Amino acid sequence: MNLKPFVHTLDLGLIDYKEAWDYQEKLFKETIDLKIAARNGETEEMPQNYLLFCEHPHVYTLGKSGKQDHLLLDDVGLEAHKASYYKINRGGDITYHGPGQLVVYPIFDLEQFFTDIHKYLRFLEEAVIRTLAEFGIESGRMPGLTGVWLGYNDDNPRKICAMGVKCSRWVTMHGIGFNLNTDLSYFSHIIPCGIDDKAVTSMQQELGHPLERQEVLAKLTKHLSDLFEFNY
């Protein structure tokens, strides 16, 4: 009988983007180093898996395939909006993180789950879709675009969850930004994910009231556990 992988769930709260990135990098490197040591017969220890939950102060991040001009603020504008900016090592274009957004960083050794990055991305989306459904919000996917969308079948599509990941030796980092009670005005200072003809939304905007972060986090964790078949 195969035992389900165990995933450590850590809520880091409101944390500086660079501090969280450095912590991800530390766990990511430890996991890869352990996998290399195991392949070389130096250890039988299994890598640990982590789900990091957090929020960030206002920050814009640009992925490897992004364009600098998708950020519409200069240094003075960033300072005026109390926002920072980083070029980072995930896929995807530019996005915004800030208070009221639930950010999820899975540090998974996919060889303990499945070795299929497309399936990994779809499972992250599906967990958000199932979570939104519990609050009466219908959501889904749009052809050729990652993330989770509302109004995906009509002429008013709006994104509620953005995604950008890195995977090396089947170890993942970075992840999703899920808009709960997010100040959506900050998205007006970028071309989100390089898409300039579609809107961004949040659960608060759709439902007309703020959400309890811990309630959404708990439901999302349960759906991730069901999809990826892990214990936590």
- pLDDT of 13-53, one tens digit each? 999 999 999 999 999 999 999 999 999 999 999 999 999 99
pLDDT of res. 133: 98
> Using CA atoms, how far apart are residues 100 and 146, in angstroms rounded to an integer?
21
- Where does the pLDDT of residue 197 fall: very low under 50, low under 70, confident under 90, or very high at 90 and above? low
Catalytic residues: 193
pLDDT of res. 96: 94
- Give yes or no for residue 104 having a pLDDT over 80: yes
- Domain range annotation of the chain: 7-223
- What class, spelled out in words, does domain 7-223 have in CATH? alpha beta
Q: Across the chain, what does the average pLDDT equal?
A: 94
CA quadruple 144, 96, 21, 105: dihedral sign: negative
> Using CA atoms, how far apart are residues 70 and 85, in angstroms rounded to an integer?
12
> Each residue of 123-181: pLDDT tens digit?
999 999 999 999 999 999 999 888 999 999 888 899 999 999 999 999 999 999 999 99
pLDDT of res. 155: 84
pLDDT of res. 149: 97
- Give yes or no for residue 1 having a pLDDT over 70: no
Is residue 147 classed as helix, strand or coil in its secondary structure?
strand
What's the average model confidence in pLDDT over 105-117?
Answer: 97
What's the average model confidence in pLDDT over 78-96?
Answer: 90
User: CB 172: neighbour CB atoms within 10 A?
Assistant: 25
Given a contact cutoff of 8 angstroms between Cβ atoms, the answer to whether 98 and 58 are in contact is yes
- Tokens coding 154: 């009509």
Q: Where are the beta strands (DSSP E) in the chain?
A: 7-14, 49-55, 59-62, 84-87, 94-97, 101-107, 140-142, 145-150, 158-168, 171-179, 199-200
- Give yes or no for residue 84 having a pLDDT over 60: yes
- Where does the pLDDT of residue 64 fall: very low under 50, low under 70, confident under 90, or very high at 90 and above? confident
What is the pTM assigned to this prediction? 0.94
What's the average model confidence in pLDDT over 88-114?
Answer: 94
